[in-house]
Amino acid sequence: MFHETFREAWALRYGAAPDFEVAGIDRFLTHRSIRKYRDEPIPEETIKGLIAAAQSAATSSNLQLWSVISVQNGERREAIAQLCGDQKQVREAAWFLAFFADHHRLRAAAAAVGESAAGLDYNEFYTMAVIDAALAAERLVCAAESLGIGICYIGALRNDPDGVRAFFGLPEGVFGVFGLCLGWPAKGVEAEIKPRLAQEAVWFRETYGPSPNVEEYDARMRPFYERQGMKGDATWSMRSGRRVDGHHMTGREVLQPWLQRQGFDRR
Amino acid sequence: MFHETFREAWALRYGAAPDFEVAGIDRFLTHRSIRKYRDEPIPEETIKGLIAAAQSAATSSNLQLWSVISVQNGERREAIAQLCGDQKQVREAAWFLAFFADHHRLRAAAAAVGESAAGLDYNEFYTMAVIDAALAAERLVCAAESLGIGICYIGALRNDPDGVRAFFGLPEGVFGVFGLCLGWPAKGVEAEIKPRLAQEAVWFRETYGPSPNVEEYDARMRPFYERQGMKGDATWSMRSGRRVDGHHMTGREVLQPWLQRQGFDRR
């Protein structure tokens, strides 16, 4: 797993080999979600090292507006898997980490020294905390993958925010942004590098460009969907449009009012 | 730059050497923001490779709800530096990249095949796009740092959302989340690894813990602030509380209503 060279990974992402090479960054192009793991532990010291990587990510004004909770107890792991859409990789991962946008710690620390943290109600600080959590998680992920560990993000941690709040005992000002499964990839696990949109569709120069032609991407994704056994002949555009049509929210349609009750995004 | 070992970086983050080691992840612990650069270009092919790393990050449901725009024109670089709080590293970086939460591309692609993307109005898809942009950026950053390139995130891209929209010609459904400066660190540049909160303050087990004692962190940060020439004897708790007191918003207090006008977070 994660063995492809820069040229190989590039060709899988974009459909054709590049006419150049950037030495030394192969491993950053080879990510794929891993959902089947060997029955082999990841030592706690490794996780401590990875948390140190996460804490080494940039954080706006050094506010560190994020937290992480590991769930290793067997019964609790089963329960959080249920809360996350009953995904088996949550149950089976060597470690399950939940990442949180966290205003609570700073609010408490500021109150203890007589300083206000009243501005945290602004969307700006919701956005900042989500960014902090994501930067921390992705640095941890890059470090984990460099050790050969497979990961899978779990957006379904947002499916039932009340359930997640009760499960973790969250105070006001803490929101579960996503989960993260970590485990050693199972032998023979099939997990392809997924094609992505052409660079020209994502990267513009100087100003925002005209909407790109995604038909070539739709065509490139078709054989990928077939190999993955995904039914029907819908294209990426059709599948993605349906995914965001408002009828497939899996509980997340409550997020805005829930966040406001939880102390985020109030103004 | 970025030369510290795992043990050295750990000691600088947490104030004491660890009693263990995780081999192979040193480089993920050595991040610091770099704001002074050598006058030496970063080849465009390197940036292409780094964009491929960014596109290799996880993206929820493969929706790829982010974009990036590079600003290399001299006059435009000066103008975007002004929009970002007149920070000189924006002006001087070899490359400046702006990262965007982007619903526009998917909405257009879905419309072209007769599919609705009406659900994008939900906060859920604002949050998802911000996460996508942050994961992509941080994977790019980890790859860049592994090559010895220094980076600095620019949250000030959110200071003037109307100005940024006009500067880039953004359509509805596109929001500038942060900027990113890239450049070769200047020789002799002083950029320390910054101490962070203790792991116990950020990482809980099973359930959210009681608010941590941050006094030890306040004490650890004091000599850091002195070395950085930051005036006054305010602690991290005091400085951070003031940072979020609602009186230091640098324009970002308009974010929620602005986002709603721009097509995000409407429900």
ipTM: 0.98
pLDDT in the model for residue A189: 84
Question: Is beta strand B174-183 parallel, antiparallel or unpaired with respect to B203-205?
Answer: unpaired
Say whether A50 sits in a helix, a strand or coil: helix
Is pLDDT above 90 for B163?
Answer: yes
List C-alpha distances in Å: A172 to A159, A253, A264, B48: 18, 20, 9, 42
User: Is CATH 3.40.109.10 what the domain over A34-195+253-261 is classified as, yes or no?
Assistant: yes
Q: Does A131 touch chain B (CB under 8 A)?
A: yes
The confidence band for B21, taking pLDDT boundaries of 50, 70 and 90, is very high
Tokens linked to A201:
């569709």
State the DSSP code for A68: E
The confidence band for A175, taking pLDDT boundaries of 50, 70 and 90, is very high
191-230 in chain A: CB under 8 A from chain B: 193-194, 196-197, 199, 201-208, 211-212, 214
- Chain segment B132-160, per-residue pLDDT in tens: 999 999 999 999 999 999 999 999 999 99
- Rounded-to-integer distance, Cα A38 and Cα A40, Å: 5
- Rounded-to-integer distance, Cα A240 and Cα B252, Å: 31
Would you call A211 and B105 a contact, using CB atoms and an 8 Å cutoff?
yes
8 Å CB contact between A109 and B232: no
- Rounded-to-integer distance, Cα A47 and Cα A54, Å: 10
- Rounded-to-integer distance, Cα B231 and Cα B252, Å: 25
> What b/e string do you get for A73-96 counting C-beta neighbours within 10 Å, with b at 16 or more?
eeeebeebbebbeebebbbbbbbb
Phi, psi of B177 (to 5 degrees): -80, -50
pLDDT in the model for residue A172: 97
The confidence band for B233, taking pLDDT boundaries of 50, 70 and 90, is confident
- Rounded-to-integer distance, Cα B65 and Cα B128, Å: 8
Is pLDDT above 80 for B190?
Answer: no
Distance from CA of A189 to the nearest CA of B (A): 18
| Site from B138, B153, B194, B217 to mutate, A interface, most A CB atoms within 10 angstroms | B138
- Chain segment A196-243, per-residue pLDDT in tens: 999 999 999 999 998 888 999 999 999 999 999 998 889 999 999 999
Query: Domains of chain A: which residue ranges?
Result: 1-30, 34-195+253-261
Q: SS in 3 state form for chain B?
A: CCCCCHHHHHHHHHCCCCCCCCCCCHHHHCCCCCCCECCCCCCHHHHHHHHHHHHCCCCHHHCCCEEEEECCCHHHHHHHHHHCCCCHHHHHCCEEEEEEEECHHHHHHHHHCCCCCHHHHCHHHHHHHHHHHHHHHHHHHHHHHHCCCEEEEEHHHHCCHHHHHHHHCCCCCEEEEEEEEEECECCCCCCCCCCCCCHHHHEEECCCCCCCCCHHHHHHHHHHHHHCCCCCCCCHHHHHHHHCCCCCCCCHHHHHHHHHHCCCCCC
Q: B123-146 and B44-55 are packed helices; what angle lies between their axes, rounded to 10 degrees?
A: 140
Would you call A25 and B146 a contact, using CB atoms and an 8 Å cutoff?
yes
- Chain segment A47-82, per-residue pLDDT in tens: 999 999 999 999 999 999 999 999 999 999 999 999
Would you call A196 and B55 a contact, using CB atoms and an 8 Å cutoff?
yes
Is pLDDT above 90 for B211?
Answer: no
> Partners of A67 in the beta sheet?
A100
Structural element, H or E, at residue A102: strand A95-102
pLDDT in the model for residue B116: 86
Instruction: Find the mean pLDDT for residues A99-122.
Output: 96
pLDDT in the model for residue B54: 99
Poorest-pLDDT segment among A186-195, B173-182, B198-207: A186-195
Is pLDDT above 90 for A1?
Answer: no
- Rounded-to-integer distance, Cα A117 and Cα A134, Å: 22
Would you call B28 and A142 a contact, using CB atoms and an 8 Å cutoff?
yes
Residue B77 sits at the vertex; the CA angle it makes with B74 and B78, to the nearest 5 degrees, is: 90
- Chain segment A146-163, per-residue pLDDT in tens: 999 999 999 999 999 999
- Rounded-to-integer distance, Cα B136 and Cα A27, Å: 14
- CB contacts of A180 in chain B (<8 Å) are none
> Partners of A179 in the beta sheet?
A98, A154
List C-alpha distances in Å: B173 to B108, B159, B186: 11, 18, 38
8 Å CB contact between A70 and A169: no
Task: Quickly count: other Cβ atoms within 10 Å of residue B250's Cβ.
Answer: 12
50-69 in chain B: CB under 8 A from chain A: 50-53, 55-58, 60-64, 66-69
Is pLDDT above 90 for A190?
Answer: no
H helices present in chain A, as ranges: 6-14, 26-29, 44-55, 74-83, 88-92, 104-112, 123-146, 161-168, 199-202, 215-227, 236-243, 255-261
Q: Does A244 touch chain B (CB under 8 A)?
A: yes
B27 exposed, middle or buried (CB, 10 Å; 0-12, 13-18, 19+)?
buried
Q: Which of B6, B62, B116 sits opposite A194 (nearest CB)?
A: B62
